[in-house]
Chain A
């Protein structure tokens, strides 16, 4: 797609301007006392690109804003990963692989695609986002906290007794979570029902969308295909399945455990309009694809296959089935992961070097302790 340019914005007679100040640079200017850095006060690192995320407006005519959108969304993805490391380590629990593979997707959805209102999570005109691969909720919890659905400090109690952040999402307890789940394959069908019901809710709801993020391994569940079949049958053009094609599942590689390929052909045959994202970790490609899809006239449900890497950006986890389920073993290894993330993304995005260190220091492993999954496996063996 053609990249929008600053010239277009000028020709349109509208001043080229930022939607708001770049929070990372402004923070750097403040010369914050490094010792006083509170990594759980996110607003000092990042703010949503859209001050009012309930309004869908096109950022693209503003060239510099487009660049800022990308930078801001990449920062969000970086923070999603970092806070995921934080919450999983505090809980000694979690699914890092799937949370890292979906980080950019979540960032683009919440920062650019979805109309939603953190101040009113049940806002009747919102778009609906369902995470069907529910085990990857640490990433979603981080995204919701960064948007202010609940305090970032709550992430410490992910999966803990008395916390509203269940180990798998509970929509009755967590603001911003649309549906409870855990066992795979049960949510795509709910997306079908919701999209069908929205379509029958009248013209006011015509442009509301339902998005369902499905795992590639999850597509081995038969019920997922019941949902795909129904979506195609009902021609639900207000429904989009996002397939996080990270190629790895709990036991091994999807292609070896139970191959789902040729996935695009299968989805096409189920009468979905299939699009592929070559690099699901490239925010700019994701933004462009979603922009095109939003503007496109269509009479079919959409399926977007995101080419991602399980465990992306933590070398130990990448393409490694052993990190499907496992929190970082201890604070030291979490600190290593946080440094690794900063080296790749934080540094270039202008996040202060102190941030990952402060975040690692903020980790408190919250009792009762869950057993290390490796030890559980040994016990079971």
Chain B
């Protein structure tokens, strides 16, 4: 059987280029696919689709509300539109259109949120997107997906287009290591266990999957067996997997390139509270705005690197042990 993980990680791949290629591949197999952009096709590399399928590409200009509305019009005609702009703009400027037509009206539109998390690192807090998952997750009927690397994107994008219903997915702007191998076969809505362990579980999404795996290695060298789960679908959340990990490992750490409020950490906290409470540590941006800077430096500064995950894991373990002593 092909391995799920690539060991060691493959050389970094530009996620934007991977997205452009994935769009072109999908455009070949799906004649009903339409790509719309609010003038960001050079940024998110959807220009690759434009070059290949010019009559299925629409630039609506710098007008995010029109972007979502026009995509809804295409969905009404039976097309499968993917609307493209920066992740934060879907969650802010165009949110009302997303709510009314996609969430409430269930228009079959896919939203590609580019430059997610801190990945638009040099454009600063106005462009960085740290609460998009919280916003999107709060909307009924909307599916929320965070592909971790190009392999995940290739596997998940066709599924998002096959399902009949609105989807928001977020994409990193920068180079990311290839985490997954040939054996990675994700299904929307189902978490993927990447590494087994019995002491605690690291649940990660997006570009934080790689540092979570590194943290698990580092914990292993300290004698701690960490299970690692990739939660590519934040909504609907695989609550069974969360409950099982709580049951079997007794402590959980969530890892996301997002605020600790309302994203993966929030979703897992809700699931634990409802199903099986267990100590939970959330690695993410601690309810603050970030700043301009080199991407890797920003991730380190705001507590999103492997050592931060290790530290959070140790805290979670201590809480688990305290709990066991009290019993």
* Residues of chain B with a CB closer than 8 A to A172's CB: 105-106
* Residues on A with beta carbons closer than 8 Å to the beta carbon of B97: 186, 189, 223
A230 to B74, CA, bound (A): 14
Whether B73 and A194, one on each chain, are in contact in the complex, defined by CB atoms closer than 8 angstroms, is: yes
A121 to chain B, nearest CB (A): 13
Does chain A have a CB within 8 A of B79? yes
The answer to whether A230 and B66 touch across the interface, beta carbons within 8 angstroms, is yes
**B43-51, B53-61, B199-207: which lies at the interface:** B53-61
Shortest distance from the beta carbon of B293 to any chain A beta carbon, whole Å:
33
Given A186-B97, A186-B101, the answer on whether A227 and B74 have CB atoms closer than 8 Å is no
Question: Using Cβ atoms and an 8 Å threshold, which residues of chain A touch B104?
Answer: 170, 180
CB A188 to nearest CB in B, in angstroms, measures 7
CB <8 Å contact, B76 and A190: yes
In whole angstroms, how far apart are the Cα atoms of A179 and B102 in the complex? 11
Q: Which residue of B lies closest to A134 (CB)?
A: B100
**A233 on the interface (CB 8 Å rule)?**
yes
Q: Are B79 and A189 in contact (CB under 8 A)?
A: no
Assembled-state Cα–Cα distance A124/B76 (Å): 11
Instruction: Indicate if the CB atoms of B100 and A226 lie closer than 8 Å.
Output: no
B154 on interface, CB distance cutoff 8 Å = no
Q: CB distance B61 to A190 under 8 Å?
A: no
| Complex CA–CA separation, A181 to B71 (angstroms) | 16
Q: Is the CB of B55 within 8 A of A186?
A: no
Number of interface residues of A (CB under 8 A): 33
Is there an interface contact between A197 and B73, defined as CB atoms closer than 8 Å?
Answer: yes
B interface footprint on A198-233 (CB within 8 Å = 1, 0 otherwise)? 101100000000000000000000110011011001
Report chain B residues within 8 Å CB of A198. Answer: 77
Taking the closest CB of chain A, its distance from the CB of B83, in whole angstroms, is 10
* B70-82 contact mask (Cβ, 8 Å, vs A): 1 or 0: 1111101101010
Task: Say yes or no: B69 contacts A189, CB within 8 Å.
Answer: yes
In this assembly, does B65 line the interface, its C-beta being within 8 Å of a C-beta of chain A?
Answer: yes
The interface on chain B, measured as residues whose beta carbon lies within 8 A of the other chain's beta carbons, has a size of 27
Beta-carbon contact of A193 and B70 below 8 Å: yes
Query: A99 CB to closest chain B CB, in angstroms?
Result: 21
**Which B residues are CB-close (under 8 A) to A192?**
66, 69-70, 73
List chain A residues, Cβ under 8 A from B79: 197
Of the residues A170, A186, A200, A201, contact of B69 by C-beta under 8 Å: A186
Q: Across the interface, which residues of A come within 8 angstroms of B60, CB to CB? A: 226, 230
- Report the separation of the CA atoms of residues A230 and B55 in the bound assembly, to the nearest whole angstrom: 17
Chain A residues contacting B55 (CB-CB under 8 Å) are 200
- Check B321 for interface membership: any CB of A closer than 8 A: no
Contact A227/B66 with A194-B77, A196-B58, A200-B55 known, Cβ cut-off 8 Å: yes
Per-residue contact bits, chain B 253-284, to A (CB 8 Å; 1 contact, 0 not): 00000000000000000000000000000000
A195 within 8 A of B: yes
User: Which one of A194, A197, A226 contacts B66 once the chains associate, using CB atoms below 8 Å?
Assistant: A226
Looking at the assembled complex, report how far the CB atom of B74 sits from the nearest CB atom of chain A, in whole angstroms: 4
Q: Is the CB of B70 within 8 A of A182?
A: no
Q: How far is the CA of A172 from the CA of B101 in the complex (A)?
A: 11
Give every chain A residue within 8 A of B163 (Cβ-Cβ). Answer: none
Given A179-B76, A226-B63: A188 touches B69 (CB 8 Å cut-off): yes
Which residues from B are CB-within-8-Å of A196? 58, 70, 73-74
- Cβ-defined contact, B96 with A197, below 8 A: no
A197–B100 CB distance below 8 A: no
Inter-chain contact A182/B71, CB cutoff 8 Å: no
In the docked arrangement, what's the CA distance between A229 and B67, Å? 12
Distance in angstroms from B165 CB to nearest chain A CB is 12
Kindly state the separation between the CA atoms of A193 and B101 in the bound complex, as whole angstroms: 13
Residues of B within 8 A of A223 (CB): 65-66, 69, 97
Q: Which of B56, B58, B63, B72 contacts A190 (CB 8 A)?
A: B72
Please report the C-alpha to C-alpha distance between residue A187 and residue B55 in the assembled complex, in whole angstroms.
Answer: 24
Query: A residues within 8 A CB of B63?
Result: 226, 229-230
Asked if A197 contacts B106 (CB within 8 A), the reply is no
In the complex, A191 has a CB within 8 A of chain B: yes
Q: Which residue of A170, A171, A190, A226 contacts B73 across the interface (Cβ within 8 Å)? A: A190
For the complex, is A278 an interface residue (Cβ under 8 Å from B)? no
B105 and A193: CB pair below 8 A?
no
Q: Which of B14-60 contact A (CB under 8 A)?
A: 34, 55-56, 58, 60
Of A195, A197, A200, A227, the most chain B CB neighbours within 10 A belong to A197
Which 7 pairs, one residue from A and one from B, show the smallest C-beta to C-beta distance? A193-B73, A189-B69, A193-B70, A194-B73, A197-B77, A226-B66, A180-B105
Can you list 8 A-B pairs, Cβ within 8 angstroms, ordered by A? Answer: A186-B97, A186-B100, A190-B101, A193-B74, A196-B70, A197-B79, A223-B97, A230-B63
Additional pairs, 12, CB under 8 Å, beyond known A178-B76, A226-B66, A233-B61: A180-B101, A182-B100, A183-B100, A187-B69, A189-B66, A189-B68, A194-B74, A194-B76, A195-B73, A197-B79, A226-B60, A230-B63
